[in-house]
Amino acid sequence: MRNLTQEALAEAIGYSQRHVSRIEKGEIPLKEECIQSISDALEVSPQKLIDLDYDSFLKK
C-alpha cells in the first residue's frame, strides 16, 4: 500500500483534499467508483480497503 498524503490522494483520484478528509472521517459514504479509484491510487485491492475500514470501525 502506498503512503500518500490526503492532498496527493485527492489529486490522484480527482477529488478535493476536503472530500478525502470527509471520506476518512466516515462523514460521507463511498461509492463503488470512488473505492476503485482509491484502491488504484494506493495500489491495493478494493477488498483490502473495505477490510481496513471495518477494522477501524471495530477499534472505535
- Domains with residue ranges and CATH for the chain: 6-59 (1.10.260.40)
Q: What one-character DSSP code corresponds to residue 2?
A: -
pLDDT score, position 37: 95
Q: What is the pTM of this model?
A: 0.75
**How far is 59 from 2, CA to CA, in rounded Å?**
22
Residues in Cβ contact with 34 at an 8 Å cutoff, skipping those fewer than 6 apart: 13, 15, 23
pLDDT score, position 26: 86
The model's pLDDT over 2-48, given as tens digits with 9 standing for 90+, comes to 789 999 999 999 999 999 999 989 899 888 899 999 999 999 999 88
pLDDT score, position 50: 78
Residues in Cβ contact with 14 at an 8 Å cutoff, skipping those fewer than 6 apart: 37
Find where cell 471495518 sits.
54
